[in-house]
C-alpha cells in the first residue's frame, strides 16, 4: 500500500505550502523564518527539509503554483481575442479576477511587513511574462495588434496590472471590473478616454 505513503507526502508538501502562504502574508517575506513556517504546521522541523531547501524555495513554489494557475487562463483569453480591444480587456479582466480570487497569494507577492515590497520572479512567473510577450509578437504579426516596442509594452502591462491590483484590493467593495475597465481604457485610448469611464462608473477620484 504505497498509496498511503504517497498521499502523506503530498499532504505534507501541501501543508507546508499552505502554512508558508499564511506566514508570508502575515509576517512578510523578509521577517519569515523557516521555523515560523514549520511552527505553523504540525510537522517536525526536520521534515521541512525533506520537501524544501529553504524559505526561498517555498516562496518560489508558491509563486510558481500561482503563476501556473493563472497563466493558462490569461493565455486562453488572449487566444480568443479578435481585436486589440479584446486582447487588452481580456488580459486585464482575467488578471484582476485571478488576483481577487487569491488575494493571499498576491499579498505575498506584493506588500510585506514594514514598507518593503517583494516580488520574486520565479521561472513560472517569468514564463508568464514571456508568454505575454510571445502572444503580443504573434498578435502584431497577425495584424491584430499595432507594431510596438514589445518589451516596453510588456513592462507596461505588468506595471499597470500589479500596481492597480494593489489599489483594487484596498477598496471595498472589491471591484475587479472597475480596475479592468480603467486599465483597458488607458491602454486603448489613453488618459483622455478615462473620463467617459469615470462618468459611467461614477468614480472620479
Partner DNA sequence: GATGAATGAGAATTCATTCAT
Partner DNA sequence: TATGAATGAATTCTCATTCAT
Given the C-alpha cell 491602454, which residue does it identify?
187
Closest distance to a copy of itself from the beta carbon of 62 (Å): 13
Closest distance to a copy of itself from the beta carbon of 61 (Å): 13
The upper half-sphere exposure of residue 14, i.e. CA atoms within 13 Å in the direction of its Cβ, equals 6
What's the CA gap between 178 and 181, in Å, rounded? 5
DSSP letters spanning 6-58? HHHHHHHHHHHHHHHHHHHHHH-TTT--HHHHHHTSSS-HHHHHHH-SSHHHH
Binding to DNA by CB under 7 A, coded x per residue (else -) over 28-47, reads -----xxx------xxxxxx
Which of 2, 149, 172, 190 forms a contact with DNA (CB under 7 A)? 2
DSSP letters spanning 68-109? HHHHHHHHHHHHH--SHHHHHHHHHHHHHHHHHHTHHHHHHH
Which of 24, 28, 55, 91 forms a contact with DNA (CB under 7 A)? 55
Nearer to DNA, 44 or 204 (CB): 44
The answer to whether residue 117 forms part of the interface with DNA (CB under 7 A) is no
> Which are the contacts of 91, defined by CB distance < 8 A and separation ≥ 6?
74, 77, 78, 132, 157, 161
The answer to whether residue 89 forms part of the interface with a copy of itself (CB under 8 A) is no
Which of 44, 115, 142, 172 forms a contact with a copy of itself (CB under 8 A)? 115
Which of 2, 44, 46, 152 forms a contact with a copy of itself (CB under 8 A)? 152
The answer to whether residue 108 forms part of the interface with a copy of itself (CB under 8 A) is no
Closest distance to a copy of itself from the beta carbon of 69 (Å): 19
What's the CA gap between 20 and 84, in Å, rounded? 39
Task: Give Dmax over CA atoms of the chain in angstroms.
Answer: 66
The answer to whether residue 153 forms part of the interface with a copy of itself (CB under 8 A) is yes
The answer to whether residue 1 forms part of the interface with a copy of itself (CB under 8 A) is no
The answer to whether residue 203 forms part of the interface with a copy of itself (CB under 8 A) is yes
Q: Is the Cβ–Cβ distance between 23 and 40 less than 8 Å? A: yes
204 interface partner picked from a copy of itself, DNA, none, CB below 5 to 8 A per type: a copy of itself
Closest distance to DNA from the beta carbon of 38 (Å): 7
Under the rule (CB under 8 A), what is the footprint of a copy of itself? 29-30, 56, 60, 84, 88, 114-122, 126, 137, 140, 145-153, 155-156, 158-164, 166-167, 178-179, 182-183, 186-195, 197-198, 203-205
Amino acid at each position: 500500500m504505497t498509496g498511503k505513503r504517497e498521499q502523506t507526502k503530498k499532504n505534507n508538501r501541501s501543508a507546508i505550502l499552505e502554512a508558508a502562504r499564511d506566514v508570508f502574508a502575515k509576517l512578510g517575506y523578509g521577517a519569515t523564518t523557516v521555523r515560523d513556517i514549520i511552527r505553523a504546521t504540525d510537522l517536525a522541523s526536520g521534515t521541512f527539509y525533506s520537501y524544501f531547501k529553504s524559505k526561498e524555495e517555498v516562496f518560489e513554489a508558491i509563486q510558481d503554483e500561482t503563476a501556473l494557475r493563472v497563466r493558462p487562463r490569461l493565455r486562453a483569453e488572449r487566444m480568443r481575442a479578435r481585436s486589440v480591444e479584446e486582447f487588452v480587456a481580456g488580459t486585464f479582466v482575467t488578471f484582476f479576477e485571478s488576483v481577487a480570487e487569491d488575494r493571499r497569494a498576491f499579498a505575498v507577492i506584493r506588500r510585506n511587513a514594514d514598507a518593503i515590497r517583494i516580488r520574486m520572479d520565479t521561472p513560472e512567473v517569468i514564463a508568464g511574462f514571456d508568454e505575454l510577450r510571445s502572444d503580443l509578437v504573434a498578435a502584431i504579426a497577425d495584424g491584430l495588434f499595432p507594431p510596438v516596442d514589445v518589451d516596453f509594452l510588456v513592462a507596461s502591462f505588468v506595471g499597470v496590472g500589479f500596481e492597480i491590483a494593489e489599489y483594487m484590493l484596498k477598496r471595498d467593495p472589491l471591484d475587479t471590473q472597475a480596475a479592468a475597465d480603467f486599465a483597458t481604457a488607458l491602454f486603448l485610448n489613453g488618459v483622455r478616454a478615462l473620463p467617459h469611464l469615470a462618468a459611467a462608473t461614477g468614480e472620479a477620484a
